[in-house]
């Protein structure tokens, strides 16, 4: 159950970021039922890729840059999260999923949106025992 919650949380954040920002998008139809049908599987695949990047690569990067994170009072975490989103887009492109992030600033805004939506989804769910 925890895996499904984790995957759907990332998927919700990615969907909202793609909806709000023109620089983050999935290939395919832009509206209607066809958009939902053709983009649900790529959305879940990108959520899985982002989750794996956040689980395995992000902690190593954060540990190696810890002095700089402290020096910048945590603002470097925004850059790290944006870079992880760009890496996710690059990996999704390598497996031909059709997810794109157009530039660093879109990645920063997208990572903020994904974080806020993820926090909201996790706080709305009942606590695990």
Give the tens place of pLDDT for each residue, 63-91. Answer: 999 999 999 999 999 999 999 999 999 99
Number of domains within the chain: 1
Is residue 129 a part of any domain in this protein?
A: no
**pLDDT for the residue 28:** 85
The answer to the question of residue 109 being in a domain is: yes
Indicate whether 119 belongs to any domain: yes
- Give every CB contact of residue 105 below 8 A, 6+ residues apart in sequence: 23
Residue 36: per-residue pLDDT: 81
Residues of the chain with pLDDT > 70, as a percent, come to 98
| Per-residue tokens: 24 | 């983050």
Q: Give the integer Cα–Cα distance in Å for 93 and 89.
A: 6
Integer Cα distance of 83 and 14 in angstroms: 15
The whole domain housing 26 covers 2-124
């Amino acid at each position: 159950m925890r895996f499904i919650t984790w995957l759907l949380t990332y998927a919700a954040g990615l969907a909202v970021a793609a909806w709000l920002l023109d620089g983050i998008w999935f290939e395919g139809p832009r509206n209607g039922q066809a958009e939902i049908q053709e983009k649900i599987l790529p959305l879940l695949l990108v959520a899985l890729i982002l989750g794996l990047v956040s689980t395995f690569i992000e902690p190593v990067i954060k540990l190696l840059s810890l002095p700089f994170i402290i020096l910048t009072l945590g603002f470097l975490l925004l850059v790290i999260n944006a870079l992880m989103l760009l890496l996710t887009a690059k990996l999704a492109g390598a497996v031909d999923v059709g997810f794109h992030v157009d530039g660093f600033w879109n990645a920063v805004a997208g990572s903020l949106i994904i974080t806020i939506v993820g926090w909201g989804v996790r706080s709305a769910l009942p606590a695990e025992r």
